[in-house]
């Protein structure tokens, strides 16, 4: 296939591009590099089946030649990014989604939206099934990301109903692994960076809130399964093994042999207390389940960061860049 991956230079997008090229697909990576990095796809640039195009999907999307599939990963996706770029995040979910849907419709191509577990907000149903409508504060500090993805889902469903578009929606739960940015505000990258630097690990609240962590290789397999399936979704993609944030911190400390302690900070507004996916639909419809246990995935992640001390440096300065991808 010829696959357009919007947000293809980000943490997840770049590894999806790599997997698609490896199986023989031709890939066009679109990104404006506000949070993605050229370094993530540098090893693909000279391959005949890959191209990387600078493009802001919120303004215009032009792709020459045939297109068989479009995967929409173009959005600020980490807390650091969507707090720095709230309007760009909303634009990526609205205008960006419609521009990419129009591209897919013009080419009669498969369209897959990478949505998020954040559409469930601070859930009142546990574990979260795809039938749950969520509990989201529409004007809170996290709302720019949560509501952008909820709107993107509504728009995708509307195109399927009204334009007969071949669409699919996946809801991605916490994903981690190599190529994360050390200062992106995600809990795994933050803990690994702090442990390797010998700094106290920052826990918000008492650390009893739970998350479900899925290794990036498993998530890429899930995205490709959805791309190939023709299913409409939404389908949860995540690891149902639920861990407290404190357990995660202690595991990172053990794997890094770090002398760092723990530092407790106030819980952010609207921070979900519990988060775990119900993945029956993914197992039955996509034949997918995660394979990589947390300790194994964390070892790979720690080794990747430890081998790149430059990646542990100072956080980037805020900029006015528009919506890219993670």
Q: Which residues are catalytic?
A: 145
Q: Which helix (H) or strand (E) holds 222?
A: helix 216-229
Site of tokens 């990387």: 52
CA pair distance 72, 152, nearest whole angstrom = 10
Cβ contacts of residue 148 below 8 Å, gap of 6+?
75, 89, 90, 92, 93, 94
Question: SS3 of 5, please?
Answer: strand
Task: Compute the distance between CA of residue 233 and CA of residue 41 in angstroms, rounded to an integer.
Answer: 29
User: Reduced to 3 states, what is the DSSP secondary structure of residue 287?
Assistant: coil
**CA 83 – CA 257 distance, rounded (Å):** 32
Which structure tokens are listed for 276?
């775990």
Question: Which tokens is 42 given?
Answer: 């540098």
């Amino acid at each position: 296939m010829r696959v357009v991956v919007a947000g293809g230079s980000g943490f997840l997008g770049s590894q999806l591009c790599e997997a698609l090229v490896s199986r023989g697909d031709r890939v066009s990576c679109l990104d404006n590099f506000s949070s993605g990095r050229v370094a993530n796809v540098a090893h693909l640039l000279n391959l005949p089946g890959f191209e990387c195009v600078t493009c802001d999907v919120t303004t215009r999307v032009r792709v020459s030649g045939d297109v068989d599939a479009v995967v929409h990963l173009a959005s600020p996706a980490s807390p650091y990014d969507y707090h720095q770029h709230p309007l760009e995040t909303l634009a990526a979910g609205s205008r960006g989604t419609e521009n990419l849907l129009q591209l897919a419709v013009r080419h009669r191509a498969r369209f897959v939206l990478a949505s998020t577990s954040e559409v469930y907000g601070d859930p009142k149903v546990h574990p979260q099934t795809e039938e749950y409508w969520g509990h989201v504060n529409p004007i809170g500090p996290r709302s720019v990301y949560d509501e952008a993805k909820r709107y993107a889902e509504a728009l995708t469903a509307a195109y399927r109903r009204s334009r007969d578009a071949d669409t699919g929606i996946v809801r991605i739960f916490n994903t981690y692994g190599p190529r994360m940015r050390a200062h992106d505000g995600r809990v795994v990258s933050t803990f690994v960076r702090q442990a390797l630097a010998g700094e106290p690990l920052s826990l918000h609240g008492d650390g009893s809130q739970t998350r479900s962590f899925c290794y990036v290789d498993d998530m890429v397999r899930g995205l490709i399964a959805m791309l190939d399936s023709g299913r409409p979704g939404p389908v949860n993609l995540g690891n149902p093994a639920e861990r407290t944030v404190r357990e995660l911190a202690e595991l990172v400390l053990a794997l890094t042999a770090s002398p760092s302690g723990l530092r407790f900070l106030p819980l952010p507004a609207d921070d979900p207390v519990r988060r775990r996916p119900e993945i029956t639909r993914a197992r039955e419809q996509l034949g997918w389940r995660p394979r990589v246990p947390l300790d194994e995935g964390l070892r790979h992640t720690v080794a990747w960061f430890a081998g790149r001390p430059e990646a542990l440096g100072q956080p980037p300065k805020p900029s006015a860049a528009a919506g890219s991808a993670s």
